Amino acid sequence: MELVASNKVVGGWHKRYRHASKITHCDMTFAIFLPETVNTGNKVPVLYWLSGLTCTDENFMQKAGAFKLANELGVAIVAPDTSPRGEDVADDPKGNYDFGLGAGFYVNATMPPYKAHYQMYDYITLELPKLIQAHFPVTTQQAISGHSMGGHGALIIGMRNSQKYSSISAFSPICHPMQCPWGIKAFTGYLGIDSTQWQQYDATALMLNQQFDSQVPILIDQGDADNFLDEQLQPWHLQKAAEQISYPLTLNMREGYDHSYFFISSFIDEHLRFHALHF
């Protein structure tokens, strides 16, 4: 791994690394926050944060304001990029923001030319955790969270890998991507037109079909002034599915909040405490 940047913050350290990925077949960048307790030889649990469309590892780390409480709780935070990058990595032919670079949707693409690099599901669930556990003072305890497209990723990855994650949370997640424009475009491009292949990456479908080994608790915060709420996010589908099978899901609708990191920074402490409770 190549150390790209290092900053001391609230007694701990924020560091960025670049490494050659065997799964995405390109260089990948991730950031990690290590609380100061690791300086005394302690190992800490890890919260993985998945960001949304157009984002990189930097958005959450610079805007969420999560470090102070994470340091107090003794929790590491890992923020990967949202897609593979590089000159050889295929992008949206029209250069749109909602597909291609910065928009990996945390799936394993099966359609050319995207299948060569867009294997974000395996990168997040297999390669990155092994890398983190091999090089940093962390335990095997993991939780996962994210925002928007990253909220979608956190939901599907956490539910499908319930033996690996003790809790799941999300801000403004895409809850039923098979039924919204962002999801339909991404799934068609990455996975093809057979919608039966889409279900494994749809949180509501996973919930309805009970495609998980155990019920990992889920916390969702959603702003009611979010301009993507009705067309793209649609959390009521997931909430209804959870109610049908008595799944432990909490959905908080927050009055007046939008889709931005102003919203995330307002409630990130509640999410950190939620995950710390389940470690």
Verify whether residue 259 is a known catalytic residue. Answer: yes
> Which of 117, 147, 259, 275 does the annotation list as catalytic?
259
Residue 202 has pLDDT above 90, yes or no: yes
Average confidence (pLDDT) over 112-125:
98
At 68, is the secondary structure helix, strand, or coil?
helix
DSSP letter at 95 equals -
194 is catalytic: no
Which among 148, 166, 167, 172 is annotated as catalytic?
A: 148
Phi, psi of 73 (to 5 degrees): -80, -15
The DSSP letter of residue 195 is: G
Cut 0.85: pTM above it? yes
When pLDDT is cut at 50, 70 and 90, the band that residue 211 belongs to is confident
List pLDDT tens digits, range 44-60. Answer: 999 999 999 999 999 99
Q: What average pLDDT is seen over the chain?
A: 97
pLDDT tens digits for range 83-108: 999 999 999 999 999 999 999 999 99
Identify the band that residue 135 occupies on the pLDDT scale cut at 50, 70 and 90: very high
Confidence of residue 228 (pLDDT cuts 50, 70, 90): very high
Q: Which of 239, 224, 221 is nearest to 169 (CA)?
A: 221
Q: Encoding tokens for residue 111?
A: 């359609």
In whole angstroms, give the CA distance from residue 236 to residue 160.
20
**Rounded distance between C-alpha atoms, residue 33 and residue 241, angstroms:** 35
Give the domains, in start order, of the chain with CATH numbers. Answer: 2-277 (3.40.50.1820)
Residue 259, helix vs strand vs coil? coil
Active site residue 226: yes
- Catalytic member of 57, 202, 221, 226: 226
